[in-house]
Amino acid sequence: MERIFGRPIVTQEQMRARIRELGKQITIDYAGKDFVLVGVLKGAYAFYADLARQIRIPMRVDFLMVKSYGSGSKTSGKVKMVTELTEDIKGKDVLLVEDIVDSGLTAQYLFKALEKKKPQSLKVCTLLSKQDRRVTDVTIDYVGFKIPNKYVIGYGLDYQQKYRNLPYLAVLDVEEDRA
Ligand code: IMP
Ligand code: MG
């Protein structure tokens, strides 16, 4: 890999420990429910796989794939659902799993889209949150880490579709100008 990324801002050990805590909390909160864990691809794939294995109740897994328009490290706010859920979530307790909530526009768009399918409940879990960048009032129920307004890569997150397989979370050394 080219060395355009720096040292971890969240190490693998910190990640493991926090995901264990989230898994415990979700296990308690969703005990006895008809639970579906919905992952938002591609970004959430690493977090999703680790989180799911820390949840100790029966559940279904499902995925959505979204594509946001715009390239580089800018968020355009325009989102397209590329693939749909495979199961009917009507009457089910759904937890949407995101990699990062930045402006919140993606989370808000997905929340509204899933709400139309009439789940019993719908909550959002994100590994990372950039609070300072939020332009929506979408409620995020579970947050792994609050991070500063820096562009991060690794552990599922990309820069121009690369670096998702970096096993930890790093800040991009080459910071682009951001709106
Ligand atoms: P939002 O719609 O502004 O909340 O942006 C959410 C999406 O933007 C995420 O799902 C990511 O794909 C992307 N994104 C935002 N910040 C970062 C970052 O720091 N690194 C990688 N992707 C990011
Ligand atoms: Mg992305």
Residue 60 vs residues 70, 93, 149: alpha-carbon distances, Å: 32, 10, 34
Q: What is the pLDDT of residues 123-135, one digit of tens each?
A: 999 999 999 889 9
How would residue 78 be classed by pLDDT, with cut points 50, 70 and 90?
confident
Measured in Å, residue 101 CA sits from the centre of ligand 1 at: 6
* Global pTM value: 0.92
Ligand 1 closest atom vs CA 99 = 10
Q: What is the pLDDT of residues 24-50, one digit of tens each?
A: 999 999 999 999 999 999 999 999 999
Domains, the chain: 12-151 (3.40.50.2020)
DSSP 8-state secondary structure symbol assigned to residue 176? P
Cα separation, 123 vs 106, in Å, equals 14
Beta bridge partners of 152: 171
Cα separation, 11 vs 8, in Å, equals 5
CB neighbourhood size of 102 (10 A): 25
